[in-house]
Structure 1
Amino acid sequence: MTEQQAKRSLYTLLLIVLLSCAGIALPYPILAPLFLNEVNSFTNFAGIEPKLLLGFLLAVYPLGLLIGSSFIGAASDIYGRRKVLVITLIFSALGYLLSVWALLSENFLLFALTRFITGISEGNIAIAKAIAIDLSPPLDKTRNYSLVSATTYAGWLLGPVIGGLLQPHGAHLAFLVAAVAMLFAIVVVYFYLGESNRSKNQQKDTHLSIRRVLYQNNSFTLLKHKSIRRLFYVFLFSTLATNAYYEFYPLWLVESFNFSGPNIGFITAILTFSMILGSVYLLPFVKSKMGLVSGSKISMLLFASMMFVHFYLSESASWFAYVFIGVTIAIYNAMLPIFASEQFSDVSQGKLMGLITTTFSLSNVLMAIIGSVISLYGSVYSIIFGGLLMLIAVLILHFIRPEQST
């Protein structure tokens, strides 16, 4: 692949990541008002409390993402990145279209099923990460990954804004727009994204059935390697820490300073924007000055320290603190996967990126349960707990030596 072809593939990939992540995040401002403000057969399914129904729907999607991430990246190693990406985007589009039908017909079970299917198919973020790795050389791996990370954050910022604007016109409209975005993404991938995976395994193993990919070649099979297991624990504890922050800082802001919904949205936008700037501008500098391991450890330690100071943050100081937190998250979130890729360059990158994405989804589910119990004593303790978990991740990373291999 020439540098010009690689750049075209990268720019196409960034557009797909933006559309996909915006589509994922677009429904979130829709669901809470729907279940809290409307009374119908959908929001009162089987006479169950609406908040419990909402909680179920919020859990179904990451569960699907957990399953999809475990095999979609590995499948792209075998069948090709472009082919698997198109198929998963088709299922995403179908999932969103069926969600529209479920909302219009007030069919709760169908809606839950479509969120689960959409979650599985959107495990394709592992493919995007693998393509970013594939394009090096001729492009710089760190630069590629930082741009993918920044675009991911931009999608998560753009999606809720669009969803909030569409919400007054009907809950189904957001899902319809997401479906259209996925259909557009399919066209772009089909005509503009070249195949980046030219490995021998792709040519040799294309006869493998989906069943064998699911049971014998999924991302979890990498854990049989001792050195990969060590790195898996780093990702597990660091993503548990990150999710402790993501999931409970809104609750802390409400409990501590009585933040309103718009204020939470605004400070989240500031947090996300700082992550984008950190990924694009600061990440390459930190890598060149400190290296992947030292840069990761320092940013992780800074993140942990900011979790601990939540005990003392004032309302005005929290706005500045969240800018700093966003930058630290952006650095270690990008550096750790790059380190994993370089550490285990002999491993199928789609499968490896799938393991990383799966770990984040797993930690999302675990922290939602664990953190909720801890938050009964105060949401700040859930955040402090995240800081402790990050220290564990740093300790494990400290004892991983770059020369270790599988």
Structure 2
Amino acid sequence: MRLPFFFVLLTVMIDAMGIGLVLPIMPDLIVEVQGGTLASAAIWGGVLSTSFAAMQFVFGPILGNLSDAYGRRIVLLVSLFVMALDYVVMAIAGSIWLLLAGRIVGGITAATHSTAAAFMADVSKPHEKAANFGLLGAAFGVGFVLGPVIGGLLSEYGTRAPFWAAAILSSLSFFIGVFVMPETVTDKTRRPFSLRRANPVNSLRAIAELPGIRPLLWVYFLYSVSIYVYPAIWAYFTTERFGWSAQMIGLSLGVYGIGMAAVQGGLIRPATRHLGERVTIIYGMAFEIVSFLLLSFLTNGLIALLLIPITALGAVVTPALQALMSRATPDSQQGELQGVLTSLHALSMVISPLLMTSMFAQFVKPGTALYLPGAPFLLAMVLMIVGFTMFLRSRPNKA
């Protein structure tokens, strides 16, 4: 199973790289195809990002349900093939509407994280699930770090170069998958596709009806909204509070991404083996709560930089939560579960930036009654405490 594991991890990494690869060139590209000012480009950039996340929200359960019915292999391969074509289209796009269509299709194809996680659930023994979900998180973290770096380097060759690079990577992954990816859905675990169940809301209801799952879904959602405070306001917060340059901000985000990948790829295995998923989640959320509290009132940039590896320790929560929910879900619904989690994560990517940036603006605007750039971290801490309390009261069953 080593080659299939490599293929699935590579697919998740490419999905994550696709998010960040185009970020460095997007302002220049939008001005190039649309004209106008940087301010108008920023508005279109927000539209493109939101459409990408919205498609992940809608299509996460659809692809998860399709993989339960027709198999993980076909869903992953078709998504990679379409993803490669989509990058080619964006590389030659001459209008903002074609770019928008490209990001919509890209959001759909990037929703395969649910199918990749379902594959991991298929091939993992119960005690291995947290560690293998952690490998997926590590692959996503590596891709999230590499994407902007590679995109920035390739931008020297023009605004279209990152798209051509992404198309080549997707094509390479597709051809690897054709030869090494087995099918893990059997006749015993196959479940007929239902369009009604593939609806994000109906999928959520179906999974929430499983014993003990509903509170864990809330915990997962609140955790995702809280943790997204970092990409949502970090650049603004560190500029306002510490006067950091763009290079310093990029370095700090890179350190966080590497720390997260190390925790989810390495630390999660011994943590769950010695502590179990439940205690691992408790420690992880406690680390996050303390980190949010410290960042809320921190005024020293060096201490903030040193604190980053500690904040990354909280990254054990996501794979451990996935493992708990996976063990409480029948084999025939693993794809549906992972599709629901993908939707909840995508929804948090829509809600959290709006919430956190609004909070930041309120507490740093001229004439504000209370100047507190770290206010969004306080809000994230409150949401995390609510999720932490719900988790302590939860008692998930095993399927």
Give the alignment's TM-score, normalised by structure 2.
Answer: 0.90
Task: Choose from 194, 206, 209 the match for 1:222.
Answer: 206
Distance 1:148 1:96 in 2: 23
Q: Does 1:403 align with 2:394?
A: no
Q: Kindly tell me: are residues 356 and 60 of structure 1, through their superposed partners in 2, closer, same or farther at Cα, counting changes over 3 Å?
A: same
Q: Does 1:135 align with 2:123?
A: yes
Task: Choose from 246, 255, 277 the match for 1:270.
Answer: 255
Equivalent pair of 1:32/1:54 in contact (CA under 8 Å) = yes
Runs of 4 or more above 6 Å deviation = none
Equivalent pair of 2:17/2:144 in contact (CA under 8 Å) = yes
Q: Deviations over 1:272-296 (max 9, x none)?
A: 1111221232212221232111210
Q: Does 1:183 align with 2:164?
A: no
Match of 1:50 in 2: 41
Q: Does 1:235 align with 2:226?
A: no
Distance 1:313 1:295 in 2: 30
Q: 1:325 offset after TM fit, Å?
A: 0.7
Where 1:161 maps in the other structure, the secondary structure is helix
Task: Choose from 83, 101, 108 the match for 1:92.
Answer: 83
Equivalent pair of 1:71/1:217 in contact (CA under 8 Å) = no
Match of 1:382 in 2: 376
Distance 2:224 2:74 in 1: 29
Distance 2:176 2:356 in 1: 40
Q: Percent identical across equivalent pairs?
A: 23
Bigger Cα displacement from structure 2, 384-393 vs 286-295: 286-295
Q: 1:8 offset after TM fit, Å?
A: 2.7
Match of 1:3 in 2: none
- The runs of 5 or more residues in structure 2 that have no matched partner are 364-372
Please tell me the residue identity of whatever aligns with 1:64. Answer: M
Please tell me the residue identity of whatever aligns with 2:69. Answer: I
How many residue pairs end up in the alignment? 388
Bigger Cα displacement from structure 2, 113-122 vs 58-67: 58-67
Give the alignment's TM-score, normalised by structure 1.
Answer: 0.89
- The runs of 5 or more residues in structure 1 that have no matched partner are 1-5
Match of 1:71 in 2: 62
Equivalent pair of 2:189/2:331 in contact (CA under 8 Å) = no
Q: 1:249 offset after TM fit, Å?
A: 1.7
Q: Kindly tell me: are residues 219 and 184 of structure 1, through their superposed partners in 2, closer, same or farther at Cα, counting changes over 3 Å?
A: farther
Q: 1:44 offset after TM fit, Å?
A: 2.9
Written as runs of structure 1 = structure 2, the 5 A alignment for 1:274-293 is 274-293=259-278
Distance 2:349 2:147 in 1: 20
Task: Choose from 306, 313, 337 the match for 1:320.
Answer: 306
Where 2:183 maps in the other structure, the secondary structure is coil
Distance 2:174 2:350 in 1: 29
Q: 1:25 offset after TM fit, Å?
A: 2.1
CA RMSD in angstroms, aligned pairs only? 2.3
Q: Kindly tell me: are residues 256 and 321 of structure 1, through their superposed partners in 2, closer, same or farther at Cα, counting changes over 3 Å?
A: same
